[in-house]
Amino acid sequence: MLPLLLLWCFVAVDGGREEFPGVGPLLVTKESRRTVVSTASGEITAVDVRDGYGGAYHLQFITMAPSSLFLPVLLHTDMVFYVQSGSGRVTYIEEDENEETEHIDVVRGDIYRLEKGSIFYVQSHPDPTRDNLRIHAIFNAVDTDNTKELPAAAYSNISDLVGGFEDKVLQMGFGVSEETILAIKWVEKPPSIVPFPHTSKTVSFGALRGIRSLAADDEEVTNKKKTKAFNFFEAKPDGENCYGWSTALSHKDLKTLKGSNFGAFMVMNLSRSSMMGPYWNPKATEIAIVIQGRGMVEAVCIGKPSGETKFKATEGDVVVVPRLHPVTQMSYNDEGFILVGFSSLVGKNRPQFFAGKRSALRTLDREVMATVFNVLTAIVENLLAARVESTIYLRARRVPRNSKGR
């Protein structure tokens, strides 16, 4: 099977990106992000990635200090976001018949989707002792003449949209005086994130839900529920053992994902000296963000025998694995490796593992497999007979420290 996939490619490193030409970057370092906004109240950095199959994605990393406000914007494309730390409230109006304001109180581990055409704003928790509200958001590309292109901007500030009209148009539209319109239009534009002191008239944050610790081993957790926001650390992992745990989210778990091009969202938590079994995605591209620790990512370059590449990924880095690319993730011996990821979708996708009881290779004829590898059938039988029950297991060898990367 594998030799049939191998054609031609090579690995290049340039400007903080390690990539397969024609396929898109596999590693985008934290240092290569561009700054969109930076104030005393918060910061927004961004990066664009492509998967080589027509998929283009815009990622933003939003940090808000306590008692701050992300000003209202109009979304140009779908947005899926993950809350890395802190807590706050997301208020939004979606394009429907009711057009009523709704809100969700979010905490670490929450994921939610807002549709294009929605208006939303974010308020961080007013308690100054709390962690900064940190949100990782991904914005989908839009169709332009049967191609996927990123919009010029993921969203527009509401004040910019209103201010784009002539004064007389606004005066007639709102039915107010010229002085009112001038007062709104001809003032200094505030940044996207501003201080917003909490008062009894603004927002009352409800009791925050309990969340599952990243390092929790014995805490009791519940099954996935179709709530407004899905929380990974409240949910029961799909797979878990002493070497780590992983959870995948689909439309069945969060109904707001239905109709989007994001098919799943996953968390991978590897303990020290652990490894995710090698696998590939037939129909989905994984876009993962390292949220804690560091580790090694090894991917097979489609198109070149023994064309694997290894690189170190650290906190804040973005790892892009295009569909059909075999990949594995490994933690170091002295620290864990935690990634959260978005997954694009071009059809029903189920990760295919090379080894273990879920191995796709176990279903193939043994003699055919022996011919593929040019070995005796007995060797193939021995290779596939090993019953690895889990997809996460202890590494048998030490991850080399002198691998490419920082």
**pLDDT tier at 105, thresholds 50, 70, 90:** very high
Matching fold, domains 26-231 and 239-394: yes
The pLDDT score that the predictor gives to residue 155 is: 94
Beta-carbon count within 10 A of 310 CB? 17
CATH superfamily, region 239-394: Jelly Rolls (2.60.120.10)
Poorest-pLDDT segment among 44-53, 70-79, 175-184, 382-391: 382-391
Question: Average of pLDDT values for 35-52?
Answer: 91
- Provide the whole-model pTM: 0.82
- Whether 400 has a pLDDT exceeding 80, the answer reads no
The pLDDT score that the predictor gives to residue 221 is: 40
User: What is the DSSP pairing of strand 87-93 with strand 17-20?
Assistant: unpaired
- Whether 406 has a pLDDT exceeding 60, the answer reads no
Q: Residue written as tokens 């170190």?
A: 312
More confident residue, 267 or 209: 267
More confident residue, 302 or 155: 155
Question: Average of pLDDT values for 254-276?
Answer: 77
The DSSP 8-state label assigned to residue 128 in this structure reads T
The pLDDT score that the predictor gives to residue 151 is: 61
Q: Domain residues of the chain, as ranges?
A: 26-231, 239-394
Give the domain 26-231 fold. Jelly Rolls (2.60.120)
- Whether 370 has a pLDDT exceeding 60, the answer reads yes
**pLDDT tier at 319, thresholds 50, 70, 90:** very high
CA distance 122 to 200: 17
Q: Residue written as tokens 């129909």?
A: 283
- Whether 74 has a pLDDT exceeding 60, the answer reads yes
Percent of the chain with pLDDT over 70: 74
Question: Average of pLDDT values for 61-79?
Answer: 95
What separation in angstroms does the CA of 198 have from each of 69, 127, 128?
10, 9, 11
